[in-house]
Amino acid sequence: MSGAVDFCGLALEHPVINASGTFDAIAAQRVFGDALLADFPFSAFVSKTITLEPRAGNPPPRIYEVAGGMINSIGLPNRGLAGYLEHDLPSLAALPVPLIVNVMGSVADEVVQLVEAVDARAEIAAIELNVSCPNVKTGLDIGADPDELARLLAAVRPRTRKPLIVKLTPNTADVARVAVAAEASGADAVSLINTLRAFAAHSTRPGAPWLGGGTGGQSGPAVRHVALAQIAAVARRVTIPIVGMGGIQNGRHAREALDAGACIVAVGTESFRDPLAGQRIARELAAPRV
Ligand SMILES: Cc1cc2nc3c(=O)[nH]c(=O)nc-3n(C[C@H](O)[C@H](O)[C@H](O)COP(=O)(O)O)c2cc1C
C-alpha cells in the first residue's frame, strides 16, 4: 500500500494507527487468529494507558451510547506497570508494527518511573504521555495548563531518548497554548483529541449520572469537527508532528485531519463498529482524491 510515512523516525507503512484504549490487540488476535498479524489494521500499535499501580477502573455502567458516538467512563483499568511488562508486553512486542506505549501518572515521580521503565525496553518504539488527568498535588489538570505540563516534561523528557508524544486534552480553553508548551519542553510530537468531558443523565434518578464513574468522555463522529478545529489550531502554532484523531470513520475523514495539519491519524471509536477499520481507512486514504 502506498502512503509510507516517517513519524518521529519510525517508518510507518501508512498513516493510520489506533487511538489508545480502543483496540485490544491481544483479544483481537484471539478472534482473528494469525490473519490479524498478516494484515494488521494499523501501521503502529498504541497500548491503552498504563499507570504505575494496577487500577480496577470505574464501576459499571462504563459506556453510554449517544447519537454519533459514545460517552465512556472506563477509568483506565490496567495491570499496572509491572503487570503490563510481564503479561502484555511479550504479546504486543510480537505485533508486526512498532509499539507505542501510553502512560499516565498524577505526579511527576510516577510518570518518571513509568517512562524510565518503558525506555529500558527495546521492544517499545515510542512513548505516548496521556496528560488528561489532574495533578493530585496541585489539583490542576496537567494537560489543561501549559505551566503544569512544562513542569512535568522538565522532569520526564531527560529520562528517555525514545520519541515522546504528548496526548493533549481537548478540555482546555486554549489547546494550542498547551501544545506550544509541549514543544518547547521537548515533546517530539503531540496527539489530539482525547475525549471531551461529557455527562449522561440517569433515566429515572433526576440529576444523577448514568455512568458509574459520574462524568465520562465523549468520542466518535460527533466530536470530529471539534477535533479538526483543534488540530488546525495546534498545527498553526507548532512544528512538531501531530497525530490527529477524533471521530475518524473513513478515508475522507482521515484526509481532512491530514489536511488540517496532522502528520498521521488515529482511529478510535470506529474500531468498535469495525475492528478492521484501520486497514480500510488506510486503503481509502491511498486511493486518488475524487
Ligand atoms: C472506550 C475508550 C477508551 C479509551 N481509553 C483511552 C486510554 O486508555 N488512553 C487514552 O489516552 N485515550 C483513551 N481513549 C481516547 C481515544 O484514544 C481517543 O483519543 C478518542 O476516543 C477520540 O478518538 P475517536 O473519536 O476516534 O474515538 C479512549 C476512548 C474510548 C472510546
Instruction: Report the pLDDT averaged over residues 31-57.
Output: 95
Give 110-164 as a DSSP string: HHHHHHHHHHT-TT--EEEEE--SB-TTT--BGGG-HHHHHHHHHHHGGG--S-E
Q: Which atom of ligand 1 is nearest to the CA of 269?
A: 27
Q: Tell how far the Cα of 44 is from the centroid of ligand 1, in angstroms.
A: 16
Residue positions annotated with a catalytic role: 133
Among protein residues, the one whose CA lies closest to atom 18 of ligand 1: 194
pLDDT in tens, 189-207: 999 999 999 999 999 999 9
Q: Which atom of ligand 1 is nearest to the CA of 247?
A: 25
Are the beta carbons of 4 and 58 closer than 8 angstroms?
Answer: no
Among protein residues, the one whose CA lies closest to atom 31 of ligand 1: 269
Residue 123 and residue 120: Cα distance in Å, rounded?
Answer: 9
User: 5-56+80-197+219-286 adopts what CATH topology?
Assistant: TIM Barrel (3.20.20)
Instruction: Report the pLDDT averaged over residues 74-88.
Output: 96
- pLDDT at residue 133 tops 80: no
pLDDT in tens, 153-189: 999 999 999 999 999 999 999 999 999 999 999 999 9
Q: Tell how far the Cα of 74 is from the centroid of ligand 1, in angstroms.
A: 10
Q: What is the pLDDT of residue 127?
A: 98
Q: What is the pLDDT of residue 135?
A: 67
First to last CA, the chain: 18
Instruction: Report the pLDDT averaged over residues 232-254.
Output: 98
pLDDT in tens, 112-122: 999 999 999 99
Cα separations in angstroms, 223 against 104, 146, 170, 230: 23, 23, 10, 11
Confidence of residue 1 (pLDDT cuts 50, 70, 90): low
| Residues with a CB atom less than 6 Å from ligand 1 | 19-22, 48-49, 70, 72, 74, 76, 102, 130, 167, 193-195, 219-220, 223, 245-248, 267-270
Q: What is the pTM of this model?
A: 0.97
Q: Which atom of ligand 1 is nearest to the CA of 62?
A: 1
Query: In b/e form, how buried is each residue of 164-197, taking b as 16+ CB within 10 angstroms?
Result: bbbbbbbbbeebbbbbbbbbebebbbbbbbbbbe
- pLDDT at residue 134 tops 90: no
Neighbour tally for 159: CB within 10 Å = 18
